[in-house]
């Protein structure tokens, strides 16, 4: 039997330092090696306890979470899962932490005594297991330092898209999406609909951050938003999103149906609507993430004649969702994150050339 995953819990709340270990140790494959009340204790605890994974609260006195994270990334290179507050400030700090090198995050409920702590515990356990198995170089996949931020063109009227691109992504997604979308031009001829596994309250901030660094227009989707050339719509947390052909144009429709594959939003829901509505005009891409959400529905897109693309293992933080699609034979192309933008552009520009010829 392999040894348990050793976890160091860092949180300034005495209640959370008690609750989180209780939740984690219900899983026999995890051992809480110790706790720390703030960042000033972390380096000594790491040397003493040799943890495999660290959970880190960002809001702490003295040496705060962000400073602590930078120190861990600089000197220890241990995967860190951020335990984030449900707030605008908490969301902003979380995305900053992911850009610094945090593996992933969970959002703790405002009331630590609430029944949602059980759900948070399950999510944290699955992410700790994924973090412990991650190859270190993949932890830091993101936007390379010095990447130029493209000029955002002033587009008064975006036209109808020539293709609809649906993207499913989870762990490692914020950095990977920022890299991908920043490589696409403002006059990109296709529309993008994106499901990123992320809790409610974080996706609006995420979409704003992407919009600031991309030539594309990026926004959190609302039901009825049009799918337009050069626009990327991010599904809100805790909603499902479908793409639809309607008399007034291509659009997204949101719903509150039950979870699919344990997720809301679910990539499966988005991909199945893409297959049904757009057939050979659809492009489905599965990128870094845990689990199998989207894999079976990618098969539906391929059967309908659409293009199916999976991110390759070497450039994924977690090669779960893409692996499931590749192993089932549903991915027609497997490409690195570096090549993803060129692959999408080649598909869409070829389509524009065919349309012009016709």
Backbone φ and ψ for 216, nearest 5 degrees, come out as -65, 160
* Cβ atoms of residues 94 and 58 within 8 Å: yes
For residue 98, give every residue at least 6 positions away whose Cβ sits within 8 Å of its Cβ, in sequence order, or none: 82, 104, 105, 174, 175
Q: Which structure tokens are listed for 219?
A: 């926004």
> Would you please indicate which residues are annotated as catalytic (active-site) residues?
170, 197, 293
Place of tokens 């757009």: 278
∠ Cα 16 207 346 (to 5°): 130
CA–CA gap between residue 246 and residue 7 (Å, rounded): 50
Place of tokens 């705060």: 64
Collapsing DSSP to helix, strand or coil, 111 comes out as coil
* Cβ atoms of residues 173 and 288 within 8 Å: yes
* Cβ atoms of residues 54 and 77 within 8 Å: no
Residue 75 CB coordination number (10 Å): 11
Alpha carbon distances (Å) from 129 to 6, 54, 103, 291: 10, 12, 12, 12
Contacts 24+ apart (CB under 8 A), 44-50: 45/8, 46/8, 46/72, 46/76, 46/78, 49/6, 49/8, 50/6
Q: Which residues pair with 182 in a beta bridge?
A: none
CA–CA gap between residue 194 and residue 295 (Å, rounded): 15
CA–CA gap between residue 28 and residue 19 (Å, rounded): 16
Cis peptide bond upstream of 265, omega within 30: yes
- Of all helices (H) and strands (E), which one includes residue 232? strand 231-234
């Amino acid at each position: 039997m392999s040894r348990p995953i050793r976890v160091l819990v860092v949180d300034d709340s005495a209640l959370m330092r008690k609750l989180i270990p209780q939740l984690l140790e219900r899983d026999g494959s995890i051992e809480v090696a110790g706790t720390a009340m703030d960042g000033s204790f972390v380096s000594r605890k790491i040397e003493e306890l040799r943890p495999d994974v660290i959970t880190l609260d960002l809001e702490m006195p003295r040496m705060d979470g962000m400073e602590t994270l930078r120190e861990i990334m600089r000197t220890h290179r241990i995967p860190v899962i951020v335990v984030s507050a449900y707030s605008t400030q908490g969301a902003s700090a979380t995305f900053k932490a992911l850009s610094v090198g945090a593996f992933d995050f969970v959002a703790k409920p405002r009331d630590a005594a609430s029944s949602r702590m059980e759900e948070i515990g399950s999510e944290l356990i699955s992410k700790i297991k994924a973090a412990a198995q991650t190859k270190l170089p993949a932890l830091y996949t993101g936007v390379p330092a010095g990447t130029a931020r493209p000029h955002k063109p002033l587009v008064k009227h975006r036209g109808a898209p020539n293709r609809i691109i649906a993207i499913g992504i989870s762990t490692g997604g914020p950095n990977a999406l920022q890299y991908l979308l920043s490589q696409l031009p403002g006059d990109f001829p296709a529309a993008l609909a994106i499901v990123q596994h992320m809790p409610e309250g974080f996706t609006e901030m995420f979409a704003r951050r992407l919009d600031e660094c991309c030539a594309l227009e990026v926004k959190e989707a609302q039901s009825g938003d049009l799918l337009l050339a050069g626009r990327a719509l991010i599904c809100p947390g805790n909603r499902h999103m479908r793409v639809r052909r309607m008399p007034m144009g291509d659009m997204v429709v949101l719903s509150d149906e039950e979870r699919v594959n344990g997720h809301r939003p679910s990539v499966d829901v988005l991909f199945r609507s893409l297959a049904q509505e757009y057939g050979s005009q659809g492009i489905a891409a599965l990128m870094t993430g845990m689990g199998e959400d989207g894999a079976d529905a990618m098969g539906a897109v391929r059967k309908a004649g659409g293009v199916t693309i999976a991110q390759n293992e070497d450039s994924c933080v977690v090669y779960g969702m893409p692996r499931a699609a590749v192993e089932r034979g549903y991915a027609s192309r497997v490409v690195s994150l570096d090549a993803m933008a060129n692959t999408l552009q080649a598909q869409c520009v070829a389509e524009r050339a065919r349309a012009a010829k016709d």
